[in-house]
Structure 1
């Protein structure tokens, strides 16, 4: 059975290491959000470092998730002091499970504050695509899909909650999507 891959990417207003209150709030909420998402029905796995890596996201050993990379439009730093981004790469059983996880609970509360933390870039903040059940998507896969979504709009190759496709490439619609989910373009 196919799995749904999800890549998210956001450019932060401040570097990850910024000691200001706003970034502390972001980090504190993020830990709880990740814990809750990891227990959500339909969640399979997310990219995590393969060992106790040090340095930046760019330096970590991501194992089978591949080398960490970012979209071409990211122009901020890549050092410990200057990295100002958040990216996730995860696998889900289906679109409805991912939707429920994103738009309920702690993640929904964090979404309500996204413009406190993230820049509005004019680029999509996430992309979905289907993979075979034995495929682990890579960071490069996610970046490629997100850039494709920005450059060519939605298609079975890269899509969003608002314009989604089933594993066969047929357009599909989630119930209640218009009422519950904003279009998460940065």
Structure 2
């Protein structure tokens, strides 16, 4: 595990309805609880948030239903544990109720120097790179993980945890 590098992640989506609509209320009602779990998770470093404590009001595009979520973690295993082995998992499993299907890459991972806070433009650029070129050291996925820049090794094709199959 590298102490010089941390793992940044971005995931985006387009809500099926605007804030205040009952169709997305269960998602919105769970945000504070899920964000608190992230904040307390081993390996968590930072997450994008506005004054309300979440990122749903941040509008990085002209589409009022487009949502962006970003966070920084010690490593991919810490992020994976939060995403797939915590109370976050059941909420994520319902994402099709709250978000439209997304054309293209909707999640990207990349290494950043420890202490760096990624910008939304940086994150959207990583999504574009992943969508355009597939997994590379500059933008990758949980399944095709690349080692931190100061670690030797080749990308690892991770097989999903059997518990997670069909849930992501």
Give the TM-score normalised by structure 1. 0.76
Structure 1 residue 178 displacement after superposition:
5.2
CA-based RMSD: 2.3
Secondary structure in 1 matching 2:58: coil
Taking the TM superposition and a 5 Å limit, the aligned residue runs for 1:1-16 are 1-16=4-19
| Further displaced range: 132-141 or 95-104 | 132-141
Inter-partner Cα distance in structure 2 for 1:158 and 1:181: 23
Inter-partner Cα distance in structure 1 for 2:102 and 2:87: 24
After TM superposition, the runs of 4+ consecutive aligned structure 1 residues lying more than 6 A away are none
Q: Is 1:101 equivalent to 2:104 in the alignment?
A: no
| 2:160 alignment counterpart | 177
- Contact kept? 1:16, 1:85, Cα under 8 Å: no
Structure 1 residue 85 displacement after superposition:
2.7
- Compared with structure 1, are the counterparts of its residues 110 and 172 closer, same or farther at alpha carbon in structure 2 (3 Å cutoff)? same
Structure 1 unmatched ranges of 5 or more: 59-68, 71-75, 78-82
Inter-partner Cα distance in structure 1 for 2:134 and 2:81: 23
Secondary structure in 2 matching 1:13: coil
- Compared with structure 1, are the counterparts of its residues 162 and 126 closer, same or farther at alpha carbon in structure 2 (3 Å cutoff)? same
Inter-partner Cα distance in structure 2 for 1:178 and 1:106: 16
For this pair of structures, how many residues does the alignment match?
158
